[in-house]
């Protein structure tokens, strides 16, 4: 019963993130004007007001034998996760294309959020006729919704923490909501389908997720070497600055201005420690995510590789 409220966490988390931080994301992260960011929010809200009653009527009119609520949650769990990611991802399009992109994605977000939230809110009335049980389900739904809002309040901290790993704050928002979108899709699909997680992590999905994780690992090192290149340029600029000042300053003036490079050496140590920390945390996260996916999968990759190696060794033995 207590897991009943998890879909509320998923939907309200993203909804709260959009309504609370949407203007900040569009203006400070993406770079759109404040007026157009407000226009996007307005279009989404108006569209939400239109779709809410429509989805309610469509859901009520469905054949009870085929399900009036749960099919919506199952069908739109994955699209909801994808749109959650797209809503906070900037592709660096030209300005006009960027504006059209976010209008379309905002409308899609409100559509999928409505297609999940309206049937989910009505679900308690379908699963029991007992007033007390319905009240408990409503309380559980509200509790998990509050948990979602509480988790969402840390979004600025999450993105600031991720930014050094992924190269920029813009990439951090995208990666952060890609993770959230994936988790929410799994939550929605698992809770309402009554299926164990290993039925969701089929061979195909396992391979897809592991490819994404492998790509994240490659992207991590690309960002690392790019950062190292930029840092080396800063060091070179510092040395060039010292050389330029040698022609116009005395040795005492140079010593007073630059010291014995204490500031530079301190900066190098700080950067080195930060790099080791960020690389270590991110690598541990990727390995942990890979192990979790392998554990939840109905057909883990390590078993497939093991079988292929056994078959290969058997063929070698037959040759000799």
Average pLDDT over residues 200-208: 63
Is pLDDT above 80 for 207? no
Give the separation between CA 175 and CA 194, rounded to whole angstroms.
Answer: 29
Is the pLDDT at 39 greater than 90? The verdict is: yes
CB contact at 8 A, 141 and 8: yes
- Give the model's confidence band at 227: pLDDT under 50 very low, under 70 low, under 90 confident, else very high: confident
- Better-predicted residue by pLDDT, 4 or 39: 39
Burial class of residue 180 in the structure, from the number of CB atoms within 10 Å of its CB (0-12 exposed, 13-18 middle, 19+ buried): buried
Per-residue pLDDT, 37: 92
The pLDDT-based confidence of 216 (bands split at 50, 70, 90) is low
- Other beta carbons within 10 Å of 190: 18
pLDDT of 257-287, one tens digit each? 777 777 777 877 887 777 777 677 777 877 8
Mean pLDDT of 79-89: 87
Per-residue pLDDT at 70 exceeds 50:
yes
Report how far residue 27's alpha carbon sits from residue 32's, in angstroms, rounded to the nearest whole number: 5
pLDDT at 36: 93
Burial class, 17, CB count within 10 angstroms (exposed 0-12 / middle 13-18 / buried 19+): buried
Look at residue 66 and tell me whether its pLDDT is greater than 80.
no
- pLDDT band of 300, cuts 50, 70, 90: confident
What confidence category does residue 42 fall into, taking pLDDT thresholds of 50, 70 and 90?
A: very high
Tokens of 51: 């779709």
Place of tokens 């009036």: 68
Q: Rounded to whole angstroms, how far apart are CA atoms 89 and 105?
A: 10
Spatial CB neighbours of 140, under 8 Å, sequence gap ≥ 6: 1, 2, 4, 5
Instruction: Let me know if 39 is exposed, middle or buried by CB neighbors in 10 A (0-12, 13-18, 19+).
Output: middle
Average pLDDT over residues 18-24: 89
Query: Residue 301 is encoded by which pair of tokens?
Result: 């990759």
- C-alpha span between 43 and 36 (Å, rounded): 10
Inform me whether the pLDDT recorded for 206 exceeds 60. yes
Q: What angle do CA 313, 317, 320 make, to 5 degrees?
A: 145
Residues 112-156 pLDDT 10s: 888 888 887 777 777 677 778 778 877 887 888 888 788 878 888
Residue 197: what pLDDT? 46
Mean pLDDT of 52-72: 79
What is the rounded average pLDDT of the residues 19-33?
A: 91
What gap in Å lies between CA 266 and CA 159, rounded to an integer? 26
Looking at every residue in the chain, the average pLDDT score rounds to: 79
Report for 102-111, 231-240, 267-276: range of highest mean pLDDT: 102-111
Residue 145 CA, distance from chain mean position: 19
Rg (CA), the chain: 26
| Of 106, 87, 115, 77, residue with least CA distance to 30 | 87
Tally of residues, the chain: 320
pLDDT digits (tens, 9 = 90+) for 88-101: 988 878 888 889 99
- Distance, in Å, from the CA atom of 270 to the CA atom of 296, rounded to the nearest integer, reads 39
**Per-residue pLDDT, 193:** 55
pLDDT range class, residue 228, cuts 50, 70, 90: confident
Contact 203, 301 (CB under 8 A): no
**Helices (DSSP H) in the chain: which residue ranges?**
6-24, 34-61, 70-75, 77-87, 95-122, 124-127, 131-152, 155-166, 169-193, 197-200, 203-246, 251-258, 262-296, 301-319
Residue 202: pLDDT band with limits 50, 70, 90: low
Structure tokens at 284: 């541990």
| Rounded mean pLDDT, 36-54 | 91
Higher pLDDT, 315 or 37: 37
Listing DSSP states for 165-176 in one string gives HHSSHHHHHHHH
pLDDT of residue 190: 64
């Amino acid at each position: 019963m207590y897991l009943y409220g998890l879909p509320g966490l998923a939907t309200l988390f993203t909804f709260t993130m959009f309504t609370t931080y949407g203007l900040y994301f569009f203006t400070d992260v993406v770079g759109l004007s404040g007026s157009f960011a407000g226009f996007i929010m307005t279009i989404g809200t108006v569209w939400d007001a239109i779709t809410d009653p429509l989805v309610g009527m469509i859901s009520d009119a469905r054949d009870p034998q085929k399900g009036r609520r749960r099919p919506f949650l199952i069908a739109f769990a994955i699209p909801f996760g994808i749109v959650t990611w797209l809503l906070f991802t900037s592709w660096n399009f030209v300005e006009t294309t960027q504006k059209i992109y976010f209008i379309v994605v905002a409308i899609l977000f409100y559509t999928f959020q409505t297609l999940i939230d309206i049937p989910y809110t009505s679900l308690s009335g379908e699963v029991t006729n007992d007033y007390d049980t319905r009240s408990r389900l409503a309380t559980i739904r509200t509790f998990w919704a509050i948990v979602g809002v509480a988790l969402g309040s840390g979004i600025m901290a999450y993105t600031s923490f991720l930014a050094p790993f992924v190269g920029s704050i813009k990439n951090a928002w995208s990666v952060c909501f890609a993770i959230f979108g994936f988790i929410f899709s799994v939550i929605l699909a698992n809770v309402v389908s009554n299926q164990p997680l290993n039925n969701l992590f089929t061979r195909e999905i396992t391979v897809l997720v592991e490819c994404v994780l492998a790509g994240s690992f490659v992207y991590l090192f690309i960002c690392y070497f790019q950062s190292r290149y930029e840092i080396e340029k800063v060091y070179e600029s510092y040395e060039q600055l010292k050389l330029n000042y040698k022609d116009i300053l005395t040795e005492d003036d140079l010593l007073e201005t630059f010291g014995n490079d204490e500031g530079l050496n301190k900066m190098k140590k700080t950067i080195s420690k930060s790099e080791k920390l960020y690389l270590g945390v991110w690598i541990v996260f990727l390995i942990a995510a890979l192990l979790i996916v392998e554990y939840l999968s109905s057909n883990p990759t390590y078993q497939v590789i093991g079988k292929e190696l056994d078959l290969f060794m058997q063929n070698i033995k037959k040759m000799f």
